[in-house]
Structure formats: structure tokens, C-alpha cells
Amino acid sequence: EDKVVQSPLSLVVHEGDTVTLNCSYEVTNFRSLLWYKQEKKAPTFLFMLTSSGIEKKSGRLSSILDKKELFSILNITATQTGDSAIYLCAVGSGSEKLVFGKGTKLTVNP
Amino acid sequence: SAVISQKPSRDICQRGTSLTIQCQVDSQVTMMFWYRQQPGQSLTLIATANQGSEATYESGFVIDKFPISRPNLTFSTLTVSNMSPEDSSIYLCSVASPETQYFGPGTRLLVL
């Protein structure tokens, strides 16, 4: 059975801190790994990773994939209160469907 | 990117009734997906809806409980039938693109 495990499940930091969120997976026929930010209802796409070792970056957020060790990390530098959200990791295997992890709830305090 | 709308955005329903959720996409897509997110949980795929064929349901979900329609390439509906409080969730539709999978704004359902 395909599995995606995220850690930590929750994290509380102060503004300006740097955080690293982890995602490990076990899937057959890996296709891609995606990171989403969920603030209210709809997850908002952040990154899609398909190749090992290539960092994707968007502003203060960056992510990298290790297909040998079957994990990915999402880094957020200089955190702001607006970064408070649930961060979801999902893996696509085979068909287009995604398997999601339970998410990491990040709280950034002023 | 695809723009997806869902109706209703939220609803409160009585147990034993049914609710149909609509999902509209601004472009033609082959596959649409329906997810459920129960309180405090992550997203779980209910089914994949292809135009012109029956939906493919994931383990634990059945057509009698969650009938799906896909009349054309831009629209789909999910019905939550004979609802119970355990069906209280956020229901999300999504579509796949080469770059990612986009999600609709979601329908928050509370069953009393």
C-alpha cells in the first residue's frame, strides 16, 4: 500500500525562524512529489519535484527530493505569520491520482 | 493554471438526506478527482471521474454512497447519499495538469 509520512505533525516557531518540514514515502511506480499549502479549504500548489537533487525555489520557500532515500524536505526561511498553515506532501504514482500525507501544521507566532 | 469552482461552498444537512456537490472547470480536462478531508485529517481520494465512463472508486468508497456524474469535460458532480455525521468533511474536486493537480475551493459539509 502506498504511504506518505510527514514530520513533524505540528510545529510552533517565532517570526524570522527557519523551518524544515519532512516527507518520506513508499510508493510503487513513483511519478512525482508535490507540496501544497492549506490555509482554509483548498490546498494551494507550491512545488512539484520529479528529479533527485534539484532544488526548487520560490521566494523564501525551497524544496528538494532524494529519490534514493525516498524523502523530500520543504524549507521556509525568515518565517512570517502568513506562513502559518498546514503543509501537505503528496506523491503521484502510476496514474494521475495523489496519495497525501497527514500534513504538518505550522504556526508562526509574532 | 485551471480555475475550478465548487457549489455549494458549505452546507448543513440532516442525517439521512443527500447532497450533490458541483465542480466546474474553466477548461476541458480528461480526469477529475474527488477528495474528502475529514476533520483533522489529510486528503483521501474518493474516486476518479472520466468523461464518458463510470467513475473509478478507491478502496472504502462505493458508488451507492458517492455517485458521481461526469457529463462533459468541464463539469462533474459528487453526491453524498444517506448522510450520517461521519460524512461531515470538506469535499474537494481537483484536476490534473502536466505541472500539478489543482484543487477547487472545497465544500464544507456538516451533517447533524
HEC sequence for chain A: CCEEEEECCEEEEECCCCEEEEEEEECCCEEEEEEEEECCCCEEEEEEECCCCCCEEECCEEEEEECCCCEEEEEECCCCHHHCEEEEEEEEECCCCEEECCCEEEEEEC
Per-residue pLDDT of B44-89, as tens digits, reads: 999 999 887 889 999 999 999 999 999 999 999 999 999 999 999 9
Phi and psi angles of residue A21, each rounded to the nearest 5 degrees, phi first:
-105, 140
A52 pLDDT higher than 80: yes
Q: How many interchain CB pairs under 8 A, A with B?
A: 50
Percent of residues, chain A, with pLDDT higher than 70:
98
Q: What tens digit of pLDDT does each residue of B6-36 get?
A: 999 999 999 999 999 999 999 998 889 999 9
Which among A6, A25, A41, A105 is the top mutation candidate for probing chain B, defined by the most B β-carbons within 10 Å of its own β-carbon? Answer: A41
* Across A72-83, average pLDDT: 97
Residues of A in contact with B45 (CB under 8 A): 97-99
Task: Please state, in angstroms and rounded to a whole number, the distance separating the CA atoms of residues A107 and B11.
Answer: 28
Distance in angstroms (rounded) separating the CA atoms of residues A79 and B72: 43
Tell which residue, A77, A74, A75, A83, has the closest CA to residue A34: A74
Residue among A37, A47, A98, A105 with most chain B CBs within 10 A, to mutate = A98
CB nearest B103 (choices: A43, A96, A102): A43
Q: Residue B31 and residue A101: Cβ atoms within 8 Å?
A: no
**CA nearest to A33 within chain B:** B100
d(CA B50, CA A9): 34
Chain B touched by A14 (CB under 8 Å):
no
Which residues on adjacent β-strands are paired with residue B12? B110
Residue in the structure block whose three cell numbers are 492549506: A38
In a mutagenesis test of the A interface, which of B88, B100, B103 is the best target, namely the one with the most A β-carbons within 10 Å?
B100
DSSP per-residue string spanning B48-84: EEETTSPPEEPTT--TTTS-EEEEETTEEEEEE-S--
Q: Which A residues in the span 75-94 are in contact with B, Cβ-Cβ below 8 Å? A: 88, 90, 92
Q: Tell me if B18 sits within 8 A of B83, measured CB to CB.
A: yes
The pLDDT of residue A1 is above 90: no
Residue in A41, A92, A98 closest to B105 by CB: A41
> Measured between alpha carbons, how far is B75 from A15 in angstroms, rounded to an integer?
42
Residue type, A93: S
Question: Residue A87: beta bridge partners?
Answer: A37, A104
Identify which of B30, B19, B22 has the alpha carbon closest to the alpha carbon of residue B4: B22
A101 and B CB contact within 8 Å: yes
A48 Cβ under 8 Å from any chain B Cβ: yes
Residue A19: pLDDT band by 50, 70, 90 thresholds?
very high
Compute the CA torsion angle B66, B70, B76, B82 (nearest 10 deg).
-20
